[in-house]
Amino acid sequence: MKYVSEFRAKAFIEALLGEIAKEAASGIRRTFMEVCGTHTAAIARGGLKRLLPAAIKLVSGPGCPVCVTSTAYIDAAMARALRPEVTIATFGDMLRVPGSAGTLEAAKARGADVRVVLSVLEALAMARERPDRRVVFLGIGFETTAPTTAAALARARAEGIGNFLVASAHKTMPAAMRALAADPAVAVEGYICPGHVCTVAGLAPFAPLVEEFGIPAAIAGFEPTDVLAAVLALIKQRNRGESRLENLYRRSVRPEGNPKARRLVASVFEPADAWWRGLGVLPGSGLALRREYAAHDADAVLPVAAEAPREPAGCRCADVLKGIIEPKDCPLFGEACAPDRPIGACMVSSEGACHAAHRWDRS
């Protein structure tokens, strides 16, 4: 697999680990955060934590879309799923996230029309084929995914596919990273920045953060050598007292990102306040449909009565998402809460820190 296998080469991994060991020889403890859930999954899959020196700790951040999505959002999706004319189309991970009154998976088992899609375009096709159904796509994800939802909405509007609706919980990353950097309870000394978010967003949204908080940052791809190169860059910066934004994923991340994708997002969505599990409401960190798209906005077309959501009792997902505790520090981890019986969102998604830790500990 070209441009994949090369970046998994054992010789490169060993060389990077050797360099990291040299830089970590002082034994000074360093805590770095992989902001992106896809990095969390890649680190777990590659067993990278076991390979790194004990002085280097990697903690997961808020970049798992399913994990940060509110229980209220799941509850709204459940309420809509129960309407006879509604089809819910969603990425698979959302099916098993516990809402106040169960999961979408359970609703599906009881007869609700809930479909798993790999792309928003499949949801749009469903709406096109079944004008009698209202297809509600659950729009979750960050800068990487928002352009795909925007493209589908623009097409639905142009083609007059009025039964295609989006419930948007799309979010943008920099505000969350800023909130974490400003939180004294979070002791992160460097960010592994999300490579595919930056592929779209470019460098500009992240540079000010690095400057303001004096925190080293490295944009990384998702193969083992990409992640290890980022760890090496961060520890080097720390050891030399530097703080810079380094782009180590240049094969995908241009400094300007993908302006065409961003223009499309800006034409469909506008910034809105958004609630993040662990971080609360962050002003302007969400993407809401613009007024021109109100006819496709599930919140406008299919409003649901907001009831106070019930969070799963005892779940410490909120602290896990800030890197304050590790999954194994949660009393429910492993016994009560496991991937086949998840209590919190962080155990559901393969990108969730609890899910990744559970798999890794047992492998």
Partner 1 sequence: MCVAFPMRVTAVTGDRGRVALGDVEQEVSLELLDNVAVGDYVIVHAGFALQTLDRGEAAETLAMLGALTRPEEEPAP
Among 343, 351, 356, 360, binds ligand SF4 (CB under 6 A): 343
Of 56, 264, 347, 353, the one binding partner 1 by CB under 8 A: 264
The verdict on 204 binding partner 1 (CB under 8 A) reads: no
Radius of gyration from C-alpha coordinates of the chain: 21
Partner touching 145 among partner 1, ligand SF4, none, CB below 5 to 8 Å by kind: partner 1
Cα separation, 218 vs 239, in Å, equals 15
Tell me if 330 contacts ligand SF4 by CB under 6 A.
Answer: yes
Q: Which does 305 bind (CB under 5 to 8 A by kind): partner 1, ligand SF4, none?
A: none
Q: Which of 157, 160, 137, 158 is CA-nearest to residue 149?
A: 137
Under rule CB under 6 A, residue 320 binds ligand SF4? yes
- HSE of 278, CA atoms in CB hemisphere, 13 A: 31
Task: Based on the shown chain and the rule CB under 8 A, indicate whether residue 65 belongs to the binding site for partner 1.
Answer: yes
Q: Is 201 in the site for partner 1 (CB under 8 A)?
A: no
Q: 164: which 2 tokens? A: 């295609």
Among positions 197, 228, 354, 356, the unique one binding ligand SF4 when judged by CB under 6 A: 354
Question: Closest separation between CB of residue 330 and ligand SF4, Å?
Answer: 3
Binding at 347: pick from partner 1, ligand SF4, none (beta carbon under 5-8 Å per type): ligand SF4
What is the C-alpha separation between 332 and 337, in angstroms, rounded? 5
235 binds, among partner 1, ligand SF4, none (CB under 5 to 8 A by kind): none
Q: What is the Cα–Cα distance from 40 to 222, expressed in whole angstroms?
A: 10
74: burial class by Cβ within 10 Å (0-12, 13-18, 19+)?
Answer: buried
- How many whole angstroms from its chain centre is CA 289? 20
Nearer to partner 1, 161 or 197 (CB): 197
Structure tokens at 32: 């770095």
354 binds, among ligand SF4, partner 1, none (CB under 5 to 8 A by kind): ligand SF4
Place of tokens 């790999």: 118
CA distance 27 to 243: 20
In 3D space, the residue among 277, 229, 262 whose CA is nearest the CA of residue 65 turns out to be 277
Measure CA 111 to chain center.
29
Residues 31, 100, 252, 267: which binds partner 1 (CB under 8 A)? Answer: 252
346 binds ligand SF4 (CB under 6 A): yes
Residue 120 or 165 having the CB closest to partner 1? 120
The yes or no reply on residue 332 touching ligand SF4 (CB under 6 A) is yes
Q: CB-wise, 216 or 323, nearer to ligand SF4?
A: 323
Is 91 among the residues that bind partner 1 (CB under 8 A)? yes
Query: What does the alpha-carbon distance between residue 191 and residue 177 come to, in Å, rounded to a whole number?
Result: 9
1 binds, among partner 1, ligand SF4, none (CB under 5 to 8 A by kind): partner 1
- Residue 180 is encoded by which pair of tokens? 């974490």
Which one among 24, 41, 138, 347 touches ligand SF4, defined by CB under 6 A?
Answer: 347
Task: Answer yes or no: are the C-beta atoms of 224 and 173 closer than 8 Å.
Answer: no
**Considering the rule CB under 6 A, would residue 321 count as an interface residue with ligand SF4?**
no
**Of these partners, ligand SF4, partner 1, none, which one is at the site of residue 142 (CB under 5 to 8 Å by kind)?**
partner 1
What does the alpha-carbon distance between residue 300 and residue 164 come to, in Å, rounded to a whole number?
Answer: 13
Determine if 74 is a binding residue for ligand SF4 (CB under 6 A): no
* 98 touching ligand SF4, by CB under 6 A: no
Largest CA distance in the chain: 66
Give the shortest CB-352-to-ligand SF4 separation in angstroms: 7
* Amino acid in the structure at residue 122: E
Cβ pair 218, 246 in contact under 8 A: yes
Interface contacts to ligand SF4, rule CB under 6 A? 315-317, 320, 327, 330, 332-333, 337, 343-344, 346-347, 354
